[in-house]
Amino acid sequence: MEYREVGKTGKHASIIGLGCEHLDGKPYEQVKETIDAALEYGVNIMDVFMPGTEVRENIAKALGNRRDQVMLQGHIGSTNINMQYDISRDLPVVKQYFEELLRIFGYIDFGMMFFIDSEQDYKNVFETDFVTYVERLKQQGDIRHIGFSSHNPETAVKVIETGVPEMMMFSINPAFDMLSSKASIFDCLDNGFQAGVFNGIDPKRSELYKLCTQKQVGITVMKTFGGGKLLSPEHTPYSRPMTSAQCIHYALSRPAVTSVLTGCKTRDEMNDTMNYLSASETDKDYTWIYNEVHSAFEGNCVYCGHCQPCPSEIDIATVNKYLDIARLDKEAVPPSIRSHYQSLHHGGDECIACGSCEERCPFGVPIIKNMIEAETLLGRRSE
């Protein structure tokens, strides 16, 4: 297992985590089998958004004395009214469900403000006592860090700009990223992807991922497989289905992403998911999907790694990621981005302009020019 920093929280999460949604309604023995398998693989982050008491207690029982080996995402505002999952901002109801979660697990590592998708969602959280309650939970130590979940890039940007959240759970896969930010991902999950909807990476989503890196807000990923549609020969929006390894690799290649939380519900599904850790670069390669909308990516790095190997051993995709963040505000490059760049074993200053990377790049990225710009903005010459 590999581990990545969760933004600026100081915590490190496994690059593959467990989204526990599909354990809801399953017998305890199955819950325990799945969680045991996850821990055996080194998974140390799990999402428990479900408000039902039984599934929460089954997960806690399965963890037993291993509770401190995992970081839990618990959602504030996820409620269960009349046997239906719901979203509530009514504080007495919110407190009832979240404080039950605290009773069961003792504390929550990432207290997630649940489902902030619309302008009204934003107002109901940040223009009420809801956010005050969340901040008090952190002050008391009941939650260790504040996060939120969202599916809307424009609203997510607004939430991050408040400075309150330290991390975010967001729906990321290549199909969603190539939808307009105005489109509803839930319509796509319910009705499938319509032909001709893709026009390259939506700029609002691209802005969100870069902003998260700039602000050191870590991202955990949901909807990695697009509700299974990306894996389905019948429902895929592409000429052929993607594999789970390709979907996972795509999400992990986005800026600021820490962990992909997959919805496994059996040991076998966990085993299948963890095949990613031993998959070859060829098996993980997702870039063939770009060929189907090739012109939309011309000149833009998609961090795919086709430019490698570099004779100077520069990690070109990573340098380009940091450069993209720096370009957001060249006059105020975050010190963390400059520090991360300078900690690379080989930076843009070691580029020998051989051009081998540009010959291999499928999207015509001006890599040599980018290496020079990265060193100018982020290297020691920029200080």
SS (HEC) of 203-259: HHHHHHHHHHHHHCCEEEEECCCCCCHHHCCCCCCCCCCCCHHHHHHHHHCCCCEEE
Q: Rounded mean pLDDT of 215-233?
A: 93
Q: Rounded mean pLDDT of 17-41?
A: 97
Letter string b/e over residues 151-181, b meaning 16 or more CB atoms within 10 A of that residue's CB: bbbbbbbebbeeebbbbbbbbbbbbbbbbeb
In the structure, what pLDDT confidence band is assigned to residue 365 with cuts at 50, 70 and 90?
very high
Average pLDDT of every residue of the chain: 91
The fraction of the chain above a pLDDT of 70, given in percent, is 93
Neighbours of 23 (CB within 10 A): 26
Read off the DSSP letter of residue 2.
-
Segment 178-190, tens digit of pLDDT: 887 777 776 766 6
Q: How far apart are alpha carbons 47 and 15 in whole angstroms? A: 14
Selected residue with higher pLDDT from 179 and 56: 56
Segment 237-251, tens digit of pLDDT: 888 999 999 999 999
Letter string b/e over residues 193-221, b meaning 16 or more CB atoms within 10 A of that residue's CB: beeeebebbbeebbbbbbbbbbbbbbbbb
Looking at residue 383, what is its pLDDT? 46
Q: How far apart are alpha carbons 17 and 133 in whole angstroms? A: 28
Q: How far apart are alpha carbons 108 and 72 in whole angstroms? A: 6
Q: How far apart are alpha carbons 149 and 15 in whole angstroms? A: 18
Segment 326-347, tens digit of pLDDT: 887 888 888 888 888 998 889 9
Strands 84-87 and 78-81: antiparallel
Q: Rounded mean pLDDT of 249-261?
A: 96
In the structure, what pLDDT confidence band is assigned to residue 123 with cuts at 50, 70 and 90?
very high
Looking at residue 26, what is its pLDDT? 96
- Range name among 74-78, 200-204, 267-271, 378-382 with the lowest pLDDT average: 378-382
Looking at residue 304, what is its pLDDT? 83
Looking at residue 261, what is its pLDDT? 98
Q: Rounded mean pLDDT of 152-176?
A: 96
How much is the pTM?
0.84
Looking at residue 196, what is its pLDDT? 52
Looking at residue 83, what is its pLDDT? 58
Kind and range of the H or E run holding 59: helix 53-63
Looking at residue 238, what is its pLDDT? 85
Q: Rounded mean pLDDT of 145-158?
A: 96
- Token pair listed for 118: 């619309």
Looking at residue 332, what is its pLDDT? 83
Dihedrals phi, psi of 260, to nearest 5 degrees: -100, 120
Looking at residue 382, what is its pLDDT? 47
Strands 3-5 and 108-113: unpaired
Segment 82-111, tens digit of pLDDT: 656 889 999 999 999 999 999 999 999 999
- Token pair listed for 378: 């982020």
Which range has the top average pLDDT, 82-96, 190-204, 267-281? 267-281
Looking at residue 363, what is its pLDDT? 83
Segment 344-358, tens digit of pLDDT: 889 999 999 999 999
- Range name among 209-218, 262-271, 286-295, 341-350 with the lowest pLDDT average: 286-295
